[in-house]
Amino acid sequence: MVLTMQEFEFISWLQAQHVLTRPDIRVGPGDDAAVVMFAGKPLLVCKDLLTEEVDFRLVEAGEYAVGRKAMAVNLSDIAAMGGRPLWALLGIVAPPGTNLTELYRGAMECAAAHGAVIVGGDTNGWSSGLVLSVTVIGEPIREAVLRSGARPGDWLMLTGPVGGSIFGRHLNPTPRLREVVTLLDHVQPHAMIDISDGLGQDLSHLCTASGCGVVVEAERVPIHPDAVRLSNQTGRTPLDHALTDGEDFELLFAVRPGDGSALLEQQPIPLWHIGTFTTPDHGLLLCNEGTTAPLPRRGWQHRFGDGQ
Amino acid sequence: MVLTMQEFEFISWLQAQHVLTRPDIRVGPGDDAAVVMFAGKPLLVCKDLLTEEVDFRLVEAGEYAVGRKAMAVNLSDIAAMGGRPLWALLGIVAPPGTNLTELYRGAMECAAAHGAVIVGGDTNGWSSGLVLSVTVIGEPIREAVLRSGARPGDWLMLTGPVGGSIFGRHLNPTPRLREVVTLLDHVQPHAMIDISDGLGQDLSHLCTASGCGVVVEAERVPIHPDAVRLSNQTGRTPLDHALTDGEDFELLFAVRPGDGSALLEQQPIPLWHIGTFTTPDHGLLLCNEGTTAPLPRRGWQHRFGDGQ
């Protein structure tokens, strides 16, 4: 899931292909899911691949957890679009000896916990590492929430503490689907993204898509205890881990200030107000103990092997 | 795409999970595509994975052809359901140095030639072989044509000559989407499948799903010149190659005898009548020069490496 520079360039090239000239395609590559129209209603469609030694270590995690993670990260993409999942496809490329039924069970039970059903897929054998390809199809609960709708002045909000996911949460993420249902009962966010690459990195995607800058207030960022624990090992600050670790799968979203303060008061779901969107000329800033610096954007890449 | 015994057992296990208890899921795992209901209309959803050294040799084929094949085999699944494709997702797991834009171009141009658009996907890097995962979403032109509707007495028909695809056609298959549009203007087939694993193998899937037997008449099977050429190298008969090679991506379907003879007379598309469905107790038979024997079902596995 962590993209290299080559992959970012590839996505830019893709977007430049101007393939999206059909009225049935509302949102193409570049958001958490595509939005297409069918029978007069919008569908959400997303696909995320997981590869051994890049996204997981099979011997440590086991097949069940790997299947579950592959499904969860895709469900998280549907959550980030303000959607509910309907159906999934599971593609498996596996070396001999892989426990296919455990893989499938992990994915199936994770889907079922969120109202989705695996309706198909493909299973191939080969002698290299395990690859999982999941596709999820869903529908917006109300309107699809894109990355591109944040406006200067909007509040930046976050659904949970971040950092240190490598201690286990990265393998068992909770897609914030239930939280999104509740959130959308209260407000329609202007923009939303899930944190896969890291808060700074994913926030930069959101700002780029929206044509905004942002100021994050360091003391407002909820730091997960795992980030503190990790900082004891790495010597980096807990805040740095919170901003750059990734694979938290919390939601980061933009709302009108009035909506934001009403949300904070009611707390229908756990919510933090961590910053404010600005005009793009301000860039992406971190305000920490009275000083302002560029927001760290690097993602801490959960890559175990020699993947790119 | 060629399944091993382990994979067939896995699919049986899957089907036994009884996951398909929702009214929106009309057809789950086990057909060429799933059929799900959205906004009162049926959608077709399929996913096929291609892996290096199993489905293609990248150094021989090049990225463009590999991307094109990955899309084509999925479009062929939509054709086999009596459908038209709408949208596709392209997942790529690639080693360093892979020409991603050529891969994408191959897939995109193949999709565009058949009215489909790539709306999203995922691109990951790693150090092992190239894996492509394509998802295509489409809709039935009329009713979805399943594998399960053939009846004893139906004619078995085929859309083109088969065998010897390894000489190049396996890399550049033509999904029979245009043919299906024309075919469905004339008749509603009872059952249909595309030939990926081999005529005998895929016909056995169709017979199993339909609860039928079949008699294939050897002299009626259209044999591709490539099958003759290949038989000169292998010493096997051209017929044997036609029945077992696979990756022809022609359509095999069941129609009422009256519809079949009308089709043969009109030939709205190239069509061959190659046999007749029977009651299941007859099994799968090949009638050749007056003698009858079991239909060869093995697929000639287009596997180049040591994949399973």
* Sheet hosting strand A131-140, strand order edge to edge: A25-27, A34-38, A41-51, A131-140, A83-94, A117-125
> How large is the ipTM?
0.92
Could you report the per-residue pLDDT of A131-156, keeping only the tens digit for each? Answer: 999 999 999 999 999 999 999 999 99
Helix (H, G, I), strand (E, B) or coil at A247: coil
CA B253 – CA B142 distance, rounded (Å): 16
Per-residue model confidence (pLDDT) at position B297: 84
Cβ–Cβ below 8 Å for A10 and B104: yes
Q: Is-contact B194 B145, C-beta < 8 A?
A: no
Q: What is the pLDDT of residues A196-218, one digit of tens each?
A: 999 999 999 999 999 999 999 99
Distance from CA of A165 to the nearest CA of B (A): 20
Q: What is the mean pLDDT of chain B?
A: 92
- The CA distance from A212 to A207, in Å, is 5
| Contact present, B208 and B295 (Cβ < 8 Å) | no
Of A22, A46, A122, the CB nearest to B47: A122
- Cβ separation A49–B25 shorter than 8 A: no
Q: Which long-range contacts (CB under 8 A, 24 or more apart) does A290-295 make?
A: A292/A215, A295/A200, A295/A203, A295/A204, A295/A214, A295/A216, A295/A243
How large is the average pLDDT for residues A55-84? 96
Is B293 buried (19+), middle (13-18) or exposed (0-12) by CB count in 10 A? exposed
Q: Which of B45, B100, B118 sits opposite A120 (nearest CB)?
A: B45
Three-state DSSP at B2 gives: coil
Cα–Cα distance between A218 and A251 in angstroms, integer?
Answer: 17
Q: What's the pLDDT tens digit per position in B135-173?
A: 999 999 999 999 999 999 999 999 999 999 999 999 999
Between B63 and B54, name the one with better pLDDT.
Answer: B63
Average pLDDT, chain A: 92
Q: Is the CB of B108 less than 8 angstroms away from the CB of A53?
A: no
Q: CA angle at residue B167 from B162 to B169, to 5 degrees?
A: 60
CA distance B188 to chain A (A): 23
Nearest CA in chain A to B3: A124
What pLDDT is stored for residue A167 in this prediction? 93
What percentage of chain A exceeds 90 in pLDDT?
87
Residues B18-44: what's their mean pLDDT? 89
Do A101 and B139 lie within an 8 Å CB cutoff?
A: no
Could you write out the three-class secondary structure of A63-132?
A: HHHHHHHHHHHHHHHHHHCCEEEEEEEEEEEECCCCCHHHHHHHHHHHHHHCCCEEEEEEEEECCCCCEE
Q: How far is A214 from chain B (nearest CA, A)?
A: 27
Residue A13: its pLDDT value, please?
Answer: 77
How far apart are the C-alpha atoms of A29 and B176, rounded to whole Å?
A: 27
C-alpha A285/C-alpha A294 separation (Å) is 4
Q: Do B13 and A87 touch (CB under 8 A)?
A: no
- Residue B185 per-residue DSSP state: H
Q: Which of A3, A7, A119 sits opposite B29 (nearest CB)?
A: A119
Per-residue pLDDT tens digits for A2-37: 455 566 677 777 777 655 578 999 999 889 999 999
pLDDT at site A267: 95
Nearest by CB: A124 against B24, B39, B49: B49
Q: Which residues of A touch B126 (CB under 8 A)?
A: 51, 53-54, 129, 305, 307-308
Residue-level pLDDT at B6: 64
Q: How far is CA B288 from CA A263, B78, B285, B294, in A?
A: 76, 33, 10, 11
Asked whether the predicted pLDDT for residue B265 surpasses 80, the reply is yes
Q: How confident is the model at residue A100 (pLDDT cuts 50, 70, 90)?
A: very high
Place of tokens 């890097």: B125
The whole-number pLDDT of residue B258 equals 97
CA distances from A116 to A12, A98, A135 (A): 31, 24, 11
To the nearest whole Å, the CA of A259 is away from the closest chain B CA by 32
> Does the distance separating the beta carbons of A40 and B43 come in below 8 Å?
no
Contact yes or no for A47 and B120 at CB 8 A? yes
